Structure 1
Amino acid sequence: MTLLWIPLTIAAAFLQNVRSALQKHLRDRLGTTGATFVRFGYGFPFALLYLAGLVVLTDLPVPMLNAKFIVIVMIGGLAQILATGLLVSLFDKRNFAVGTTYSKTETVQAAIFGIIFLGETVSLNATIGILVSLAGVIAISAARSPAGLRAIATSWTERPALIGLASGAAFGIAAVSYRGASLSLGGEGFIMQASVTLAFVLVFQTIVMVAYMAVREPAELRASLGAWRVAIWVGLSG
């Protein structure tokens, strides 16, 4: 069980790449808001199905929600919407690879936020793992970038890099918020708590984005619903 994180991490990284590729495709058809919405609007049905499966097929108790949980989840949900929108907006930037590389500082920023807001400690092994994974992302991005590592190192003050850093920070805040919300539910284990957190936040994010788009961008909302054949895979891979 202690090594379960390895296949889970590999699977998460693979699915993240699939989701990003699909959102990049949808960005050209729907725009930034629509490509952001599909991550949540098409994701919450799968989260609810997974939660229902746990309730029916296991004996795990369903935790009761509390005010602290709701507030923290809402903060994390809004942060993730912002982070996703910023990341999607990078798809049409000239230095797209640079921006996405800086967004991958999410793990480092999440560790810092966890120390500040949750009082967590990061072990030496965890620190090494975070830095190694970050170095790997930078190396891969440098190999794909025409200008290589120099472009990534020297462009940190340019707009794509700043957007990437902001996206990484918002993703980090979201990750820490979800962990704090899950912990606030109490109980033993983590599967049911994490599932409840995931389902709640995706429903909340969908409500927020539908309300916003219905008022500000109704045409894009209709287009997002019409693109369900591709968008549904974004929700599933999320």
Structure 2
Amino acid sequence: MVTLLAATAQTFRSLTQKKMKPVLGDTGASYIRFSYALPFAWLWVLGYQAMSGLAMPGTSVMFWVWLSAASLMQVLFTIFLIRMFSHRSFAAGTAFSKTEVLQAAVFEALVVGVVASIYTVFAIALGAVAVVLLSLAKTNLNRGNMVSVLLSRQTALGLLSGATLGLSTVFFKAAVLALDGGDWLLSAGYTGAMAVTVQTICMGLWMYFSSARNELVLSLVHWRSSLSAGFYGAVATAAWFTAFTLYAVAPVRAVGQIELLFTMALSFFVLKEKTNTIETLAIILLVVSIIMILLGG
């Protein structure tokens, strides 16, 4: 249920970002998921702490190392994903980012020593096949142009977004594990809120001192339209971090691919994008993959 909540919130956040992209630009649309999530994230943490009576968890040097690395990876992922929207449909752009699930399984084994079972790896791989089909469904891929498609800018952005998202999720889990004290819900929420704080400050400073300053100003001017992206982003962050605290990262992210089904539905009903036979087959494979992981867990 926590993963379902995270996937749902993330879908609506991404949809809001895409709608704001023509107004704010790539960087501005990326920034609002952090800046406007900040108050909601801390409201949840402070509210839960007040109700539970628990003290904030203690931090360590390794917590800040993992948090900083994860925050940087997530900022890069967001920029790559938003830029993909300029090359692919909304659904396909999100599909490219889902290459992170298999990568996350490898990163998790290397960083925190959590190794997925053969059954889980097979289910994740099945989902990865579905994602690849979705990614290629609306291309004119054939033997003649296969190499050019695989070496295209879209593919590179997809692989980069997958790698950075996979690394960020594993690094965030490592950060939570490095905390001292606090229950799992407070630890997850605190890590998420601190991550959003670091991302907001660092990305904001970079935008201010770079050519993206105008996009920073626009993100402040259009705060009413951007606020929903922050709300959905904060909900998604809290839910994802809670799931990562309780379970292994790779299976959680694999189940989280249900977001792709939500995205397909929004693309069809809201953005009026058509779904073809290959996409339908991929959706079936993705559903089977998710069910296998849920039953196996």
TM range (shorter): 0.7 to 0.9
Match of 2:68 among 67, 74, 81: 74
- Give the percent of matched residue pairs that are identical in Structure 1 and Structure 2: 34
What does residue 58 of structure 1 align with? 52
Whole-Å separation in 1 of the counterparts to 2:102 and 2:86: 26
CA shift, 1:137, in A, is 3.7
Contact 1:99–1:161 (8 Å) recurs in 2: no
What does residue 204 of structure 1 align with? 198
Contact 1:99–1:162 (8 Å) recurs in 2: no
Counterparts in 2 of 1:149 and 1:171: CA distance versus 1, 3 Å: farther
Counterparts in 2 of 1:187 and 1:149: CA distance versus 1, 3 Å: farther
More displaced stretch, 87-96 vs 18-27: 87-96
What does residue 287 of structure 2 align with? none
Write the letter of the residue equivalent to 1:224: S
What does residue 33 of structure 2 align with? 39
What does residue 78 of structure 2 align with? 84
Contact 1:98–1:161 (8 Å) recurs in 2: no
What does residue 215 of structure 1 align with? 209
Whole-Å separation in 2 of the counterparts to 1:86 and 1:149: 26
Q: For 1:1-238, list aligned pairs within 5 A.
A: 7-94=1-88, 98-140=92-134, 145=138, 147=140, 155-187=149-181, 189-216=183-210, 217-238=212-233
Unaligned runs of 5+ in 1: 1-6
Whole-Å separation in 1 of the counterparts to 2:16 and 2:142: 26
Write the letter of the residue equivalent to 1:229: R
Contact 1:48–1:199 (8 Å) recurs in 2: yes
Task: Determine helix, strand or coil for the equivalent of 1:92.
Answer: coil
Superposed CA RMSD: 2.5
The CA deviation string for residues 177-235 of structure 1, in whole angstroms up to 9 with x for no partner, is 10000000144742111111101110000001111111112221110011212211111
Contact 1:99–1:163 (8 Å) recurs in 2: no
Write the letter of the residue equivalent to 2:99: T
The CA deviation string for residues 18-50 of structure 1, in whole angstroms up to 9 with x for no partner, is 111111111111111101100100111111001
- Work out the number of aligned pairs and report it: 231
What does residue 4 of structure 1 align with? none
Write the letter of the residue equivalent to 1:235: G
Whole-Å separation in 2 of the counterparts to 1:9 and 1:112: 20
Task: Determine helix, strand or coil for the equivalent of 2:114.
Answer: coil
Whole-Å separation in 2 of the counterparts to 1:136 and 1:41: 33
Whole-Å separation in 2 of the counterparts to 1:65 and 1:149: 53
Q: Give the TM-score taking structure 1 as reference length.
A: 0.87
Counterparts in 2 of 1:75 and 1:56: CA distance versus 1, 3 Å: same
Counterparts in 2 of 1:50 and 1:125: CA distance versus 1, 3 Å: farther
Counterparts in 2 of 1:34 and 1:54: CA distance versus 1, 3 Å: same
Counterparts in 2 of 1:123 and 1:94: CA distance versus 1, 3 Å: closer
The CA deviation string for residues 134-178 of structure 1, in whole angstroms up to 9 with x for no partner, is 3444455556x264899xx86332110111110110011110110
Task: Determine helix, strand or coil for the equivalent of 2:75.
Answer: helix
Write the letter of the residue equivalent to 1:51: V
Contact 1:80–1:174 (8 Å) recurs in 2: yes
Contact 1:96–1:160 (8 Å) recurs in 2: no
CA shift, 1:122, in A, is 1.0
Counterparts in 2 of 1:12 and 1:134: CA distance versus 1, 3 Å: farther
